[in-house]
Amino acid sequence: MDETQFVVGVDVGGQTSKLGVVDARGEVLAQSVIRTDTFGTDADAYISALAEAIKKIIAEADKEGQIRGVGVGAPNGNYYTGAIAFAPNLAWAANGSVDFAKMLSKKLGGLPVSLTNDANAAAVGEMTYGVARGMKNFIMITLGTGVGSGIVVNGQVVYGHDGFAGELGHTNVVRYNGRTCGCGKQGCLEAYCSAIGVAKTAREWLESSKEESILRDVVDITSKDVYEAAKAGDALAIRVFEYTGMLLGRSFADFVAFSAPEAIVLFGGLARSKEFLYEPILNSMNENLLPIWKGKVKILFSQLKESDAAILGASALAWEL
Amino acid sequence: MDETQFVVGVDVGGQTSKLGVVDARGEVLAQSVIRTDTFGTDADAYISALAEAIKKIIAEADKEGQIRGVGVGAPNGNYYTGAIAFAPNLAWAANGSVDFAKMLSKKLGGLPVSLTNDANAAAVGEMTYGVARGMKNFIMITLGTGVGSGIVVNGQVVYGHDGFAGELGHTNVVRYNGRTCGCGKQGCLEAYCSAIGVAKTAREWLESSKEESILRDVVDITSKDVYEAAKAGDALAIRVFEYTGMLLGRSFADFVAFSAPEAIVLFGGLARSKEFLYEPILNSMNENLLPIWKGKVKILFSQLKESDAAILGASALAWEL
């Protein structure tokens, strides 16, 4: 472990960006948050603000001259090109491609910047600091507003031919009459198993039945409401998670057939509903696996400290610089 | 290119095993065929016969002392363990695990032996000598009696945690009321898009309709019969290939979301029906791809000389020894 070098991790989210100075042990020495959504379509203004915030936390941690590089996780971030392109939730990168890594590096006096999408960053974070430590083959699934994924094969993130590998949220899980996904396709995993998908399932089931449920009193149901209802013993809410877990499990069985991972690691807001998701996922996955894998693939839930996880994931990228 | 070193490639099939001495350019200098299925459950007897045949072709090519190693492609061959286990089509490895690589190496005086499954061997062959030369990211799909796959990421075959990665024939392609596959699961790609699957589709369609077709005169329809009928302009036979291609294409779209390959390469008996499969596959894949990949992923058909392809694929493994 190099005690004299440090990295910066940046997690670019739709509303806020979290950043921190991290040591080789994964301790966050200084951190900060800036808004992502107050710069309109002006990418340069956002990146300038980010560069200033980075300089500030480096100074705060008293590590000037000891920073090896900056790792950034961002929606639609491309590892090969360093660009963020057509990211619907980032106004300044929604309608074109932004040379993010290059621009940020320039504003930081040439400090190397490595960029990838948020799910890949999370995978690197888990492998470096989390439950996947020591694993060479695993799949990270992020269950948030959408469903993202980062695939690790032989100890390396799979970027593919063009840097966009690992879009497992947009593989098919319901072929017949599948829900329309935000991407325009039908029946994608994300349309069912994201936070938005879970809320939608609950709303659909409430509409199509007369079953009693405390969710009937909730306006604009979110996945958090469904979780609270399940915790309160609401039968319909519990079944929503069983259904979500069943769908995740059958998709996971196909993912296992691809890369034969040691584990599938779940991360993100929805993964906090572990108590209702774990068994349905595991049972459904094992039902759909080939005999050689039945009972052998672990389903793990990230245990990284919520507030640090995103920063750690992104920062871990910078160690490879 | 090393002009003084040579390798041996062995393709273990259910009925026959093909073997050859290969140079670094991919020229087969001497080759031979032995039966695989005349040894009952006696793995040792088969491996002894194979070792003798290997020694014979090495002598025939006059390359004693210049052989770097032996590469073997076999059903259910495991790269990590060197074992063939529970391979339904190999009587001597159907009900247990055979330490194939170790046993063969011993009978060849310690010559290194590398083993993998047949589809992975084909992928290595395409990458070394075929249409995937120079590609770092592609997926090999073998369309034979079954549907096999070999996945290459970053220039390396994906073996996964346990050596069994790349069972894409057993990912789901029909969720609702899917055909039962030989593996016991329902709706697997292999149940529809293998040679057996194609023949089954034709038989089902003939039974469920009164449509005229020259296939009505055929007893025990095979995929070859369907191909001949399609060539003769038979509308039903042509639609069987369109349906098969549609299913392959939608599965391929999900595979692309996993590893973002530059191309998907098709190999095996059924791939000879390229004229009827190519467009349905390409159209269906592009319909189901995320916008970032539409029109960008190639569908290629192996062009390796049929008689050499299997040997070359296996032999290419040995260069890595």
Query: Are A291 and A103 a contacting pair, CB within 8 Å?
Result: no
Q: Can you list the positions of beta strands (E) in chain B?
A: 6-12, 16-22, 28-35, 67-73, 84-85, 97-98, 113-116, 138-143, 147-153, 156-157, 263-267, 298-301
Closest residue, chain B, to A151 (C-alpha): B258
Give how far A67 is from chain B: nearest CA, Å: 29
Contact with chain A for residue B134, Cβ under 8 A: no
- The DSSP secondary-structure symbol of B77 reads B
Q: pLDDT tens digits for A142-171? A: 998 899 999 999 999 999 999 999 999 999
- Identify from A120, A152, A171 which residue to disrupt to test chain B contact, counting B C-beta atoms within 10 A and taking the largest count: A171
Contact A290 B171 (CB under 8 A): no
Give the number of C-alpha atoms closer than 13 A to the C-alpha of residue A174, restricted to the C-beta side.
21
Contact with chain B for residue A24, Cβ under 8 A: no
Residues of chain A contacting residue B166, judged by C-beta atoms under 8 Å apart: 257-258, 260
Closest residue, chain A, to B189 (C-alpha): A254
**Residues B11, A33: Cα–Cα separation, whole Å:** 59
* Facing B176 at nearest CB: one of A154, A171, A175: A175
Contact with chain A for residue B167, Cβ under 8 A: yes
Contact A161 B261 (CB under 8 A): yes
Q: Digits of tens for pLDDT over chain B (321 positions)?
A: 567 899 999 999 889 999 999 999 889 999 999 999 999 999 999 999 999 999 999 999 999 999 999 999 998 899 999 999 888 889 999 988 999 999 999 999 999 999 999 899 999 999 988 999 999 999 999 998 899 999 999 999 999 999 999 999 999 999 989 999 988 999 999 999 999 999 999 999 999 999 999 999 999 999 999 999 999 999 999 999 999 999 999 999 999 999 999 999 999 889 999 999 999 999 999 999 999 999 999 999 998 876 677 789 899 989 887
pLDDT at A306: 65
Average pLDDT score, chain A: 94
Chains A and B: how many Cβ contacts under 8 Å?
122
Contact with chain A for residue B166, Cβ under 8 A: yes
Query: Are A65 and A51 a contacting pair, CB within 8 Å?
Result: no
pLDDT at A2: 67
Contact A164 B250 (CB under 8 A): no
pLDDT at B129: 87
Neighbours of B94 (CB within 10 A): 15
Give which of A320, A294, A317 is closest to A126, Cα–Cα: A317
Residues of chain A contacting residue B165, judged by C-beta atoms under 8 Å apart: 137, 258-260
Contact B161 A137 (CB under 8 A): yes
Tokens linked to B278: 């190519």
Give which of B130, B170, B113 is closest to B310, Cα–Cα: B130
Closest residue, chain A, to B138 (C-alpha): A161
Whether A1 shows a pLDDT value over 60: the answer reads no
- How many secondary structure helices (H) and strands (E) does chain B include? 9, 12
Q: What global pTM score does this model have?
A: 0.93
Neighbours of B137 (CB within 10 A): 21
Contact B158 A156 (CB under 8 A): no
Residue given tokens 């961002």 in the structure block: A74
One-letter identity of residue A150: G
Q: pLDDT tens digits for A29-85? A: 999 999 999 999 999 999 999 999 999 999 999 999 999 999 999 988 999 999 998
pLDDT at B20: 97
**Residues A104, A51: Cα–Cα separation, whole Å:** 7
Show which of residues 250-289 on chain A sit within 8 Å of chain B, judged by CB atoms: 250, 253-255, 257-262, 288
Give how far B173 is from chain A: nearest CA, Å: 8
Q: List CB contacts of A69: < 8 A, sequence separation 6 or more.
A: A7, A8, A111, A112, A113, A114, A318, A321
pLDDT at A149: 96
Contact A288 B172 (CB under 8 A): yes
Contact A254 B288 (CB under 8 A): no
Q: If you average pLDDT over residues A15-25, what whole number do you get?
A: 94
pLDDT at A87: 87
Contact A293 B174 (CB under 8 A): no
Give how far B87 is from chain A: nearest CA, Å: 12
Contact B171 A254 (CB under 8 A): yes
Contact with chain B for residue A151, Cβ under 8 A: yes
Query: Are A142 and B271 a contacting pair, CB within 8 Å?
Result: no
Give which of A73, A197, A92, A206 is closest to A140, Cα–Cα: A73
Contact B137 A175 (CB under 8 A): no
- Identify from A285, A292, A298 which residue to disrupt to test chain B contact, counting B C-beta atoms within 10 A and taking the largest count: A292
Contact B250 A172 (CB under 8 A): yes
Give which of A38, A44, A118, A39 is closest to A78, Cα–Cα: A118
Considering Cα of B195, then B198, then B200, then B202, what sign does the dihedral take? negative
Contact A168 B257 (CB under 8 A): yes
ipTM of model: 0.93
pLDDT at A4: 85
Give how far A113 is from chain B: nearest CA, Å: 22
What does each C-alpha distance from B7 to B21, B35, B73 come to in angstroms?
A: 6, 21, 14
Q: pLDDT tens digits for A200-228? A: 999 999 999 999 999 999 999 999 999 99
Q: What is the DSSP string of A90-118?
A: -GGGSSSEE-HHHHHHHHTTT--EEEE-H
Contact A254 B259 (CB under 8 A): no
Q: pLDDT tens digits for A257-313? A: 999 999 999 998 899 999 999 999 999 999 999 999 999 999 999 988 766 777 898
- Identify from B290, B296, B297 which residue to disrupt to test chain A contact, counting A C-beta atoms within 10 A and taking the largest count: B290
The percentage of residues in chain A with a pLDDT greater than 70, rounded to a whole number, is 99
Give how far B32 is from chain A: nearest CA, Å: 33
**Residues A315, A130: Cα–Cα separation, whole Å:** 13
* Facing A172 at nearest CB: one of B183, B185, B254: B254
**Residues B161, A262: Cα–Cα separation, whole Å:** 5
